Structure 1
Amino acid sequence: MNKIVVLTGAGISAESGIKTFRDSDGLWEGHDVMEVASPIGWERNKSLVLDFYNKRRSQLLNVSPNEGHKALVLLEKKYETTIITQNVDDLHERAGSKNVLHLHGELLKVRSSKNENLIYDWTDDLNLGDLCKENNQLRPHIVWFGEEVPMLDKAIEITSKADILIIIGTSMRVYPAASLIHFIKPKTLVYFIDPKPTIRENLYPNLTIIAEKASIGVVKLITKLIG
């Protein structure tokens, strides 16, 4: 059975109404990225960071998977499929995908600020005074700037075995996720789906660009792949 790896970015979730964190001016919802997505920002103003992610969590609970998310589920009927996502939402899982690896963490989970192995499901607001079982403050289960990406090695291992790599809604400029394409086998087929492609077809062997938004381009490709 062919192995398919799908790498998804903010573009696929944006169609469900989730704002992409980084605006054109480089701010995240009016905040400098280091204020709300770095260990330094966390130490400086925990209340601000918690409020920022509480708002993101609330927004997530009021949106639904789109046709792009739903179409990817169909791949599992014919192929061994893994989704590696840069997104922190759970829209792939809600659509029905069973094998999802989150590179940058998950918005609906929190973890101990001292013991990264203590992780909890969380759908409510997270506040100062919410503690793990070791009595340490809980923080968003998000990989912040300056932190290691703990799932990267696993993502590299999975990508290196792919027969087909599908890239959806990402600029391929955010590292280390953008580096995954360098670990594929020489004959791996690559499909890049984005309305404004940032790479050229002659940049990689066996690359096909589908210049469509995810809800259209993914459906077209999946229809082709599953026959």
Structure 2
Amino acid sequence: MYEIIANLLKESKKTTVITGDGISIDSQKIDYKTSVDNQVYNGINLSKLCNKDFDKSDNNFISYYRNICKQISLNKPNKAHHIIEEWKNKKIIDLVITQNIDGYHGIKNVIELHGNINNFYCTNCKKKFNSKYYQKSHKCNNGHDNFEKEYTKCNGTLRPNIVLSGEIPKYLELALFNMYKSDIVLIIGTEMSISPINKLPVMAREKGAKLVAINKEPIESIANYINYSIYGEDIIDVLEKLNNLIL
């Protein structure tokens, strides 16, 4: 199976990779989920500030995302991320579509469907902030002169630039466009259990693409569409073996 998948990747004209939290497991030291359906912490719905309630300060929400930002900044991309980055640089793969919010895939040829936890913005004036600022304050420091020529602060509430529960994943149309152009879709570290994201590889398959899955557990949600798979093995080990066959 390794030789088959390696040859497919070498011969592919356009390969798109879809990743989930399974690829980042060795980079995580806290238990958090990136999916839109898992924004719950200690029984608290973390999505309640995503719309009209976002002007209220919620200490549980703020503490949770500050903790995630801190852990992501302390940890680093693992060997799997480095291999995928090398494949991008050497044109073995063309694009990464990720459900993860950690930013470990970098910024080159990446679609972050659920956003990036390293980025924040003011819900009032839309000014952008980084995660370091959010560690110190969840309020906007943007200012302007009013009609009396007095300097006033916006003081709006910051939110992470990620998809919260009930919100639509980002860049779905762009992701779908690339699915239609792909002849190989490589799914790594995700069970593809979330809709509408799990529809993307299905649509690619219906357009003639071959689906390849690498995951600890079988991907049951789209099992009938997958052409080749490697299940039950460590993801980093699998990618290292494929990398040795490809390069």
Match of 1:219 in 2: 240
Measure, in 2, the Cα distance between the counterparts of 1:179 and 1:144: 20
Contact 2:27 2:76 in 1 (8 A): yes
Tell me if 1:17 matches 2:28. yes
Identity among equivalent pairs (%): 25
Match of 2:122 in 1: 112
Amino acid at match of 2:181: K
* Cα offset, 1:172, TM superposition: 0.8
Tell me if 1:207 matches 2:228. yes
Match of 1:88 in 2: 101
Superposed CA offset, 1:48-102 (max 9, x none): 2121110000000111111111111221203351111111102122xxx721111
SS at match of 1:212: coil
Contact 1:21 1:28 in 2 (8 A): no
Among residues 72, 76, 86, which one is paired with 1:64 in the alignment? 76
Tell me if 1:153 matches 2:166. no
Superposed CA offset, 1:152-210 (max 9, x none): 11111112211211111111112222221122154322211111123389611533334
SS at match of 2:94: strand
Match of 1:46 in 2: 58
Measure, in 1, the Cα distance between the counterparts of 2:115 and 2:191: 19
Q: Which moved more, 1:46-55 or 1:214-223?
A: 214-223
Match of 1:30 in 2: 42
Tell me if 1:122 matches 2:135. no
Contact 1:72 1:222 in 2 (8 A): no
Q: Structure 1 unaligned runs (5+)? A: none
TM-score, normalised relative to structure 2: 0.76
Q: Structure 2 unaligned runs (5+)? A: 1-11, 145-153
Measure, in 1, the Cα distance between the counterparts of 2:215 and 2:182: 20
Q: Which moved more, 1:182-191 or 1:48-57?
A: 182-191
Superposed CA offset, 1:21-45 (max 9, x none): 24xxx78442434457754774565
Measure, in 2, the Cα distance between the counterparts of 1:219 and 1:188: 24
SS at match of 1:156: helix
Contact 2:47 2:165 in 1 (8 A): no
**Structure 2 CA distance for partners of 1:129 and 1:34, relative to 1, 3 Å:** closer
Contact 1:110 1:139 in 2 (8 A): yes
SS at match of 2:132: coil
TM-score, normalised relative to structure 1: 0.82
Q: Looking at CA atoms only, which structure, 1 or 2, has the larger radius of gyration?
A: 2
* Cα offset, 1:214, TM superposition: 2.0
Q: CA RMSD in A?
A: 2.9
Measure, in 1, the Cα distance between the counterparts of 2:242 and 2:231: 8
Measure, in 2, the Cα distance between the counterparts of 1:200 and 1:128: 38
Tell me if 1:180 matches 2:186. no
**Structure 2 CA distance for partners of 1:217 and 1:41, relative to 1, 3 Å:** farther
**Structure 2 CA distance for partners of 1:197 and 1:115, relative to 1, 3 Å:** farther
